[in-house]
Amino acid sequence: MEGDACDPDRPAHPGTFPAGECGRTDQQPPERRVDFPVSVVLPAGGTGERTGLQTPKQFCLFMGRPLISYTIQAVERVLWIQNIVVVVAKEHMDLMTDIIQQFRHRKVRAVPGGSTRHRSICNGVLALGEQEEEKERLLSADRPKVVIIHDAVRPFVEEDFLYKIAMAAKEQGAAGAIRPLVSTVIATTSEGYLDHSLERAKYRASEMPQGFTYDVIYQAYQRCTESDFEVGTECLHLALQYCGTNAKLIEGPPTLWKVTYKRDLAAAESIIKETLSRSACVITGGSEQAVPLADAIQKAAGALDMALDVIPNLMGDNCRYLLKEYNFIQVSVNRSCLSEVKSILKDLEAANQALLHPLVIILVHLSCPDELSISRAMPELAAFMDVASAANLRNILLYGIQVHQSKDTERWERSVLRVAEITSALIRERSPALVGQLLQA
């Protein structure tokens, strides 16, 4: 394509990606079966001026990972979505390609954006229909392909809502997320006085994701004006104005909010940390002595809103924990347990999963009363630090907790609660400063 229909001075897109096949319906849960192809366009070509930061907000890091990677992950894990086009500023194309590779994102391709959001979205839509035969297939009436458009800075989108938008877009031609207005909308005079206010109950905030059949959004962008491209902010409006397609509006959950200001980055980081810290598995190594402590930690952590699974090892069905975003707590009793930690590290390496964020391994060492000297009870501390330093390079944070057996029930219960509290704090905070440290419960 010579130049870019949305932005005449933009170069034609680089090569296209193979047309994705419909997500295999036999892999989709019956209650959410999508039997038509769905693609997603993630506009990420903005500069994020309202954050006041140099780095565009979509590339700001949360636990070592850019915000856009969380949004891509939220979309790519949906089985019935075949292709994702991320639209970034030309100067960020290499960065985006690196992010796709580093975090092993699948089904994703980066294309250059435009000077406005509409131009970027239009570039993304055109990229989906790159080759003529692909566009013909997409425009054929009997196989409406749905295109979901979702701001790349809305990371907390859930499959359930994407499904609702995709199904409504297929039926109606267009669909969009809405949320109740928080503030009343008013119109001002040119002198800055109140002209009138709108009846808030009659209005809603337009959010993302939005969905369109390919023909609707493609035609809308073919027919809209330069002014639409320059100052427009609403794709649903283009569908109505230029295709006569009235979007179905679906109220979305509060999690659809968009990262816009600096405070939103702090809120997003807190939510991401919280979400990644709710689950862990406690590994007893099959030791009978470790089970009571593991069960006690599980119970105490439950009161701290952490769901812990107690397992003997990571073999058989339990290897599934290696494929999730779990954290690991290895309980060891009275013996040097570095080998058990090294075994978890080896299993993680064999699972070959891209660690999308720092993963936590906590070694809980239970020593009995006659082993009070830490140097004898806990594995060689220097070796532990070395293993932790090496693991840190793989985005794995290794911490140690020493707890002493006590026959005094009250004292023992206090110790177990401290183990749970320290574990919860380490998983939530994932502080690099405490890596390789031995904390006392």
Ligand X SMILES: O=P(O)(O)OC[C@@H](O)[C@@H](O)[C@@H](O)CO
Grouping H, G, I as helix, E, B as strand and the rest as coil, residue 72 is helix
Q: Identify what 43 binds: ligand X, ligand CTP, none; CB under 5 to 8 Å per kind.
A: ligand CTP
Give, for 69, the enclosing helix (H) or strand (E).
helix 67-76
- Name residues contacting ligand X, limited to 212-271 (CB under 6 A): 233-234, 258
Stretch that binds ligand X, among 17-25, 33-41, 202-210, 266-274 (CB under 6 A): 202-210
- Name residues contacting ligand CTP, limited to 378-397 (CB under 6 A): none
Q: Is 244 buried (19+), middle (13-18) or exposed (0-12) by CB count in 10 A?
A: exposed
Nearer residue to ligand CTP within complex by CB, 69 or 172: 69
Nearer residue to ligand CTP within complex by CB, 53 or 438: 53
Grouping H, G, I as helix, E, B as strand and the rest as coil, residue 136 is helix
Distance CA 411, CA 187 (A): 65
Binding of ligand X by 421 (CB under 6 A)? no
Binding of ligand X by 117 (CB under 6 A)? yes
Give, for 213, the enclosing helix (H) or strand (E).
strand 204-213
Q: Identify what 279 binds: ligand X, ligand CTP, none; CB under 5 to 8 Å per kind.
A: none
**List 55, 260, 313, 336, residue binding ligand CTP (CB under 6 A):** 260
Distance CA 198, CA 186 (A): 6
Q: Which residues sit opposite 179 in a β-bridge? A: 205
Give me the DSSP letters along 319-334.
GHHHHTT-EEEEEEES
- Helical axes 117-128 vs 214-223, angle rounded to 10°: 130
Place of tokens 């994703």: 108
Nearer residue to ligand CTP within complex by CB, 100 or 396: 100
Q: Identify what 359 binds: ligand CTP, ligand X, none; CB under 5 to 8 Å per kind.
A: none
* 312 cis-preceded (ω within 30 degrees of 0): no
Binding of ligand CTP by 113 (CB under 6 A)? yes
Q: Identify what 233 binds: ligand X, ligand CTP, none; CB under 5 to 8 Å per kind.
A: ligand X
Tell me the closest approach of the beta carbon of residue 249 to ligand CTP, in angstroms.
Answer: 19
Binding of ligand CTP by 152 (CB under 6 A)? yes
Stretch that binds ligand CTP, among 38-46, 309-317, 322-330, 417-425 (CB under 6 A): 38-46
Where would I find the H helices in 77-116? 93-102
- Name residues contacting ligand X, limited to 120-139 (CB under 6 A): none
How many positions of this chain bind ligand CTP (CB under 6 A)? 22
Where would I find the H helices in 103-252? 117-128, 132-139, 159-172, 214-223, 226-231, 235-243
Distance CA 385, CA 438 (A): 9
Q: Identify what 130 binds: ligand X, ligand CTP, none; CB under 5 to 8 Å per kind.
A: none
Binding of ligand CTP by 151 (CB under 6 A)? yes
Binding of ligand CTP by 37 (CB under 6 A)? no
Stretch that binds ligand CTP, among 108-116, 266-274, 310-318, 394-402 (CB under 6 A): 108-116
Binding of ligand CTP by 25 (CB under 6 A)? no
Phi, psi for 272 (deg, rounded to 5): -65, -45
**List 87, 96, 100, 300, residue binding ligand CTP (CB under 6 A):** 87
Distance CA 71, CA 91 (A): 20
Nearer residue to ligand X within complex by CB, 234 or 264: 234
Binding of ligand X by 353 (CB under 6 A)? no
Per-residue mark of binding to ligand CTP, 56-85 (x: CB under 6 A): x-x---------------------------
Q: Identify what 113 binds: ligand X, ligand CTP, none; CB under 5 to 8 Å per kind.
A: ligand CTP
Distances (CA, A) of 25 to 32, 35, 79: 9, 7, 9
**List 208, 259, 345, 356, residue binding ligand X (CB under 6 A):** 208
Nearer residue to ligand CTP within complex by CB, 155 or 173: 155
In sequence order, the 6+-apart residues with CB closer than 8 A to the CB of 378 are 336, 365, 367, 384, 400, 402, 438
* Structure tokens that stand for 232 in this block: 């427009």
User: Which residues of the shown chain bind ligand X in the complex (CB under 6 A)?
Assistant: 117, 151, 206-208, 233-234, 258
